[in-house]
Structure 1
C-alpha cells in the first residue's frame, strides 16, 4: 500500500512545529527575566530576603546557620548574582551549581534543607503552604 502525504498533513506538521518554536522562545524569555532579590529558606522557614543589586557594596556574604547556630552554608551576592560558595554537606552539589540571577532560578542544599530562590521582589497574590 502506497500512502502519500497530503497537503493537510504537511500543514498540520508545520503548525505544530511553529507552535513548539514559539513556545520555546516564550519560555526562554520568561525564564531569563532578571530578578531583584533572593529568598533564603531553611527547613521551609524564611531565613532572609536579600537584594541582588546593592549600590556601594562589593559583595555581600551571608552565613546561613541551622537551628543550633552552626554555619552550614555561605552565600555570596555580587553583581546581581547569588552563588553558594561553601557548605558543610558531604556532596557539595549546591556549591557546584552555577550562580543564579533570573526569576525562578534556585540553589538547593538538600542535606542542610537550604533553598535559595530568585524573585522579582513583588509580593505574590496567593501564598499557600500545604502539609
Structure 2
C-alpha cells in the first residue's frame, strides 16, 4: 500500500466514525410517544421513562411497553397481532399501528412534531 492509500483509508474511517458519533449524539432526549385511538389522542408518554400502558381500542385492548427508550406493543387481542410482531420504535416519525383496534402509536419530538419542523397535523402531501 502506498502512503496516499493509507491516508485516504484513514480519512474515510475518521469521516465514518465522526458521522456515527454525530448521528448518535443527535438523538432527541425529549422524544415522546403519542397514542391515538380512532383518531382521538389517548395519551402522550415520554420515551425516557419506562412504563406499561393499557390501551382500550375499538373492540379490544393493547398493551404498550416503553423500556430503554423504545416503545413496543407487547400484547393485543386482535386476530392478526401484526402490531405485536412490529419491531420496537424509537425514532421520530416511526409508528406502530393496530388496524382492528384503530390504535396508532407514533414517536414525536419534544415539540410534538413527527419530523423536524413538522407539526403532527400535516404530512408532506398536505402542505
TM-score (norm 2): 0.64
Report which of the two structures shows the higher radius of gyration computed on alpha carbons.
1
Distance in 1 of aligned mates of 2:120 and 2:104: 17
- Give structure 1 stretches of 5+ with no counterpart: 1-28
1:3 maps to: none
User: How many equivalent residue pairs?
Assistant: 95
- Give structure 2 stretches of 5+ with no counterpart: 1-22
1:10 maps to: none
Q: Answer whether contact 2:36 2:43 (CA < 8 A) is retained.
A: yes
Distance in 1 of aligned mates of 2:94 and 2:37: 17
1:5 maps to: none
CA shift, 1:126, in A, is 5.0
The answer to which structure, 1 or 2, has the higher relative contact order (CA under 8 A, 6+ apart) is: 1
1:65 maps to: 56
TM-score (norm 1): 0.63
